[in-house]
Amino acid sequence: MIDKKIKKSNERCALQEILSIIGGKWSMSIIYALFPGTRRFSELERLIPNINTRMLVKELKNMEANGIVSRKVFATVPPTVEYTLTTKGEKLEPIINELHKWGLEYVN
């Protein structure tokens, strides 16, 4: 067996960085909900059971800041906000789909 060790340094490893971006309780559910395409904020609230507005806003802001999601605001009354996966976010689709399959097979 190969002993894999994480280098002890001030730099965080790539896996830790990834998890800080998409490892939140709701992050993968939000990304999964955006796979089919652009969604309005209210659609995301309906599609993701048990998420509250504050957490959805927080997760979307984090993913927007990290280039996973783009946000477009329309000058309407009330304001319309749409979210779309960026190219970077779209590249997560096969990874998250595999995690979903693994979960169906091994969890519960």
What is the per-residue pLDDT across 1-26, written as a single tens digit (0 to 9) for each?
Answer: 445 555 555 456 888 888 888 888 99
Q: What is the pTM of this model?
A: 0.82
Contacts by residues 39-44 (CB-CB < 8 Å, ≥ 24 positions apart): 39/82, 39/83, 39/84, 40/80, 40/81, 40/82, 40/83, 41/81, 41/82, 41/83, 44/83
In CATH, what class is 14-106? Answer: mainly alpha
Per domain, the residue ranges of the chain are 14-106
Mean pLDDT value of segment 31-56: 97
